[in-house]
């Protein structure tokens, strides 16, 4: 009887294990305690997967025997593919392939656009280099997308979801970049063009006196015009907006030259007065802020030249954003030589939203003026309070048009040739989010800004800084003295009880 009981218990346990495994296979889930929910699929990804109407095959090329920190990257990617497969109802299938098995396979992988990464591996007390592969290809029919290097964290989901989106979207809507007035070109905004290529065809648009702006453009982008704009071109834009068009304007009404140290107002090209008629007042002063970036100052001391970093109020660091789909997930932007943007519409049919603010300690400088790097700024220089630097206006031109304007024209511009530069991710994200929002396609905004890129510290007044500093010094000493005093009183009471014959 006892033997039968043991056998029954073992069988019950085995049955529970089998059932638990079957349920876990069908009810796969993970608990995600990270602040940016990097291990939880975003709503944008779920929408992309639900809309799939064909099978996408993911070939993950990962080397075996990777170091522990890279093995975690492989495991995270595999876990994510499992979730993609389940969320897509089987429309995403995958396999893992080791390219290091033989030379022929390695050459085949390289021909697909996935190159090796040289990493150092410690083995038998020796450091050796290893050719590691951590890429993937996605295929739908005869269309292929390549992820040359799978990045960890939120970037992994962004790369995977955007690649799937590229494969599933056949007819991409068009975004027009206005040209003909000295604007920035497509080739000078490489990072933005790469992000937009996921969903849109980005192409140049030249406004003419005769032809209307085609209504098939989901949005127009107007970046840093410098030449005078004819009234007829503004009329064409008015017609485009009246037909439900959307426009993103990044324009600098002020100019700063650090080489010559000159601060001046930009030439009047007609932009300020035209925007005023749309309910947007573009300032003509330089906005300054105590929460700002630094510049490198070079000083000659004897035979030596010493470089030091100095805070430069003309480069405000913006971390205060309105809770809006366009700005959701942004951490910080640095706007160089920026002017204010203030919505002025009083019409109830028009909706205005301020998108980005300075800190409460901001001010303004009226041009023309000169840059003084060594200037000793005073508190009275920053008495303007919070100022708005970007705004969105909905309902212009018969209630159908949308405009987003920001008082800086080059914050997402890379430049061309030797002057090209890498711009901060949030600068490009702001521009991309703006275009997504104007084009009524906010699907990738949440995913694009999912990862936490920075954690700017809140501004703290000098009095608070001193209080915190001295508290850190003296608080432990005071707590130690209080503890010692308490222990002394406790010992004195104990001795008094003993003298009274109470030894409890």
Instruction: List the 143-147 sheet strands across, edge first.
Output: 92-97, 56-62, 134-140, 143-147
For residue 454, being part of any structural domain is answered with: no
End residue of a domain, out of 140, 167, 194: 167
89, 36: one domain: yes
Q: How many helices (H) and strands (E) does the chain have?
A: 12, 24
> Per the domain annotation, does 487 fall within a domain?
yes
The reply to whether 282 and 224 lie within a common domain is yes
Domain count, the chain: 3
| Alpha helix segments (H runs only) across 62-153 | 68-87, 103-111
Mark which of 125, 151, 167 sits at the end of a domain.
167
Residue with tokens 């022929």: 104
**Cα–Cα nearest to 73, from 164, 21, 147:** 147
Examine the domain organization and report whether 473 and 439 are in the same domain: no
The residue segments making up the domain with residue 500 are 463-504
Q: Give the chain's residues under pLDDT 50.
A: 452
| Residues 246 and 354 placed together within one structural domain of the fold | yes
Answer yes or no: is 418 within a domain: yes
Domain membership flag for residue 386: yes
77 and 154 belong to one structural domain: yes
Query: CA 254 to CA 116: how far, in whole Å?
Result: 47
In a shared domain, residues 236 and 360 = yes
Tokens standing for residue 285: 């002063």
What's the confidence (pLDDT) of residue 198? 79
Looking at residue 492, its pLDDT comes to 82
For residues 286 and 410, membership in a common domain is answered with yes
Q: For 237, phi and psi rounded to 5 degrees?
A: -65, -40
317 and 238, same structural domain?
yes
Residue 21 covered by a domain: no
pTM of the model: 0.75
Same domain? For 399 and 496 the reply is no
What pLDDT, on a 0 to 100 scale, did the predictor assign at position 104? Answer: 85
pLDDT at residue 37 in the model:
61
Q: Contact 276/405 with Cβ under 8 angstroms? A: no
CATH number for the domain harbouring residue 91:
3.40.30.10
Same domain, yes or no, for 411 and 263?
A: yes
Q: Which of 149, 167, 185 is the last residue of a domain?
A: 167
Q: Are residues 106 and 186 in the same domain?
A: no
pLDDT in tens, 374-388: 889 999 999 999 999
Q: Could you tell me if 155 and 269 lie in one domain?
A: no
In a domain, 23, yes or no: no
Predicted pLDDT at 462: 66
Please give the pLDDT value at position 404.
96
CB 341 within 8 A of CB 389: yes
Please report whether residue 116 resides in a domain. Answer: yes
């Amino acid at each position: 009887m006892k033997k039968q009981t043991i056998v029954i218990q073992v069988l019950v346990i085995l049955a529970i294990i089998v059932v638990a495994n079957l349920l876990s296979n069908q009810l796969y889930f993970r608990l995600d305690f990270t602040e940016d929910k990097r291990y939880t699929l975003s709503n944008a990804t779920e929408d992309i997967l639900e809309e799939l109407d064909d099978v996408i095959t993911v070939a993950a090329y990962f080397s075996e025997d990777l170091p522990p920190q890279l093995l975690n990257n492989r495991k995270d990617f595999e876990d994510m593919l499992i979730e993609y497969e389940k969320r897509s109802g089987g429309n995403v299938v995958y396999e893992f392939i080791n390219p290091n098995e033989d030379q022929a396979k390695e050459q085949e992988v390289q021909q697909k656009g996935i190159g090796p990464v040289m990493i150092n591996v410690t083995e038998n007390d020796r450091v050796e280099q290893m050719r590691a592969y951590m890429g993937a290809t996605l295929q739908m029919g005869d269309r292929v997308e390549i992820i040359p290097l799978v990045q960890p964290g939120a970037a992994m989901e962004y790369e995977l979801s955007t690649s799937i989106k590229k494969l599933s979207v056949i007819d991409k809507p068009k975004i027009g970049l206005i040209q003909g007035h000295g604007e920035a070109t497509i080739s000078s905004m490489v990072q933005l063009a790469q992000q937009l290529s996921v969903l849109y065809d980005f192409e140049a648009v030249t406004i003419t006196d005769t032809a209307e702006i085609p209504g098939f453009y989901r949005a127009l982008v107007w970046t840093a015009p410098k030449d005078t704009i004819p009234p007829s071109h503004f009329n064409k834009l008015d017609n485009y907006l009246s037909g439900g068009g959307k426009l993103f304007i990044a324009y600098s009404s002020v100019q700063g030259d650090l080489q010559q140290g000159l601060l001046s107002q930009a030439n009047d090209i007609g932009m300020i007065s035209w925007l005023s008629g749309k309910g947007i007042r573009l300032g003509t002063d330089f906005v300054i802020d105590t929460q700002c970036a630094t510049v490198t100052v070079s000083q000659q001391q004897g035979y030596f030249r010493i470089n030091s970093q100095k805070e430069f109020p003309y480069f405000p660091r913006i971390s205060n954003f309105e809770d809006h789909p366009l700005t959701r997930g942004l951490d910080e932007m640095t706007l160089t030589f920026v002017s204010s943007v203030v919505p002025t519409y009083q019409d109830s049919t028009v909706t205005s939203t301020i998108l980005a603010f300075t800190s409460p300690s901001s001010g303004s400088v009226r041009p023309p003026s000169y840059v003084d790097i060594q200037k000793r700024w005073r508190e009275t220089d920053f008495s303007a309070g919070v100022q708005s630097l970007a705004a969105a206006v909905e309902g212009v031109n018969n209630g159908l048009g949308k405009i987003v304007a920001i008082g800086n024209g080059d914050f997402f511009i890379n430049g061309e040739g030797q002057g090209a530069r890498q711009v901060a991710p949030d600068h490009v994200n702001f521009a991309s989010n703006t275009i997504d929002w104007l084009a009524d396609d906010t699907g990738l905004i949440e995913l694009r800004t999912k990862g936490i890129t920075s954690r700017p510290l809140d501004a703290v007044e000098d009095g608070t800084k001193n209080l915190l500093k001295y508290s850190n010094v003296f608080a432990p000493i005071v707590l130690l003295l209080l503890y010692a005093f308490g222990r002394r009183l406790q010992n004195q009471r104990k001795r008094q009880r003993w003298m009274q014959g109470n030894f409890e």
